[in-house]
Amino acid sequence: MLPAWDAAIMLVDMNAFFASVEQRDRPEWRGRPVAITNGMQGTCIITCSYEARTHGIKTGMRLKHALRLCPDLIRCPADPHRYAATSTAIMTTLQEITPDIEVFSVDEAFLDITRCQRLLGTPLQIARLAKRRVFEASGVLCSVGISGDKTTAKFAAKLQKPDGLTIIPPWEAAQRLHDVPVTELCGIAKGIGRFLAEHGVVTCGDMRHLPISVLARRFGNPGRRIWYMCQGQDPATLQQEVPAPKSIGHGKVLPPDTRDRELLHTWLLHMSTRVGARLRRHDLQASSFFIGLRTAAGWDGGKLRCALPTNDGGVIMSLCQRVIDELWSGQGVHQVQVTALNPVSTGKQLELFDTADDT
């Protein structure tokens, strides 16, 4: 029998989640290119199936452009409540494998399976169990990555999509990441990537030549974590109970000088639903929201209030619509922002999931 790992972290990632739910419920769509849009009037793609992605179709693309790339593309309006119900079923079944779980997004979860090995077997056996249980609970396929830390497990999960299973033993993590660009790791954005490149760090293997103190001085503890992440030793533990924040916001940098109303509507809907999901995760509501469209002249929009506290993405989106209709005069936008201000406890447990970004 193989020895148990000292630490074993598994990342379960649903494959093209929203589109997969639609293909599950419409068997005639299986194996065909499907694009999810914001209602039947929406002209921007929220996400799409892997069959559509092979044609070059991407999130945020105009439907007209997508149809030129793939004339047989099936257009489907989003059904957030059905996706949320499926997500809840998946997370519930994963909790039956181990209670040590961090729900990372609507379609992703980290599981610490270190203590499961004596009962459930090797990491490979546990991964196969998770994939089977997820499919039995939801009818949707997933990809699984396992390693000794969160970052390497998440990297592993994306290597064999869709329906993949990749295991990177902890003692092989540094070597497997050696030639991987640092910006391929979750949490290392382009801005940090530019800073690292200026210091000679382009791949994870380059990090060993950069003193950890350089990152610590620039970024503090997150910088120290990045140094270890690139060497397959992410020290972060699962966040099973996240402290309630003082504000909850999401933003998106858009292509320069964006003037397309439908595109703005699509991204504001993304931000609104994600803010609503996070509010519910913390059992919070808010009455005040910052809704902003950033232009060359500054921010259009500002602080808006609801009649009653809410954590409903649709209600938040109605505030965004007011900004578009009443405060935006058509000038080019390069960033959108939706933030819940001073959220308060709802006093009751609400739904955890909403239509967060599908990855």
Gap between the Cα atoms of 254 and 337, Å rounded: 11
Backbone angles phi, psi at 181, to 5 degrees: -55, 140
Gap between the Cα atoms of 265 and 277, Å rounded: 18
What DSSP assignment string belongs to 191-250?
Answer: HHHHHHHHTT--BGGGGGGS-HHHHHHHHSHHHHHHHHHTTT---PPP-SSPPPPSEEEE
Give the CA distances from residue 10 to residues 71, 238, 295, 305, in Å, rounded to whole numbers and listed in that order: 38, 11, 41, 41
C-alpha closest to that of 340 among 323, 319, 325: 319
Let me know: does 249 contact 278? Beta carbons within 8 Å. Answer: no
Residue 124, helix vs strand vs coil: helix
Gap between the Cα atoms of 249 and 341, Å rounded: 8
Gap between the Cα atoms of 48 and 35, Å rounded: 4
Residue reference for tokens 């406890």:
345
Gap between the Cα atoms of 8 and 123, Å rounded: 7
Q: Which of 22, 102, 108, 326 is labelled catalytic?
A: 108
108 is catalytic: yes
User: b vs e for 217-233, b when ≥16 Cβ sit within 10 Å of the residue's Cβ?
Assistant: eeeeeebebbbbbbbbb
Gap between the Cα atoms of 340 and 350, Å rounded: 17
Other beta carbons less than 10 A from residue 201's beta carbon: 24
Catalytic residues: 108
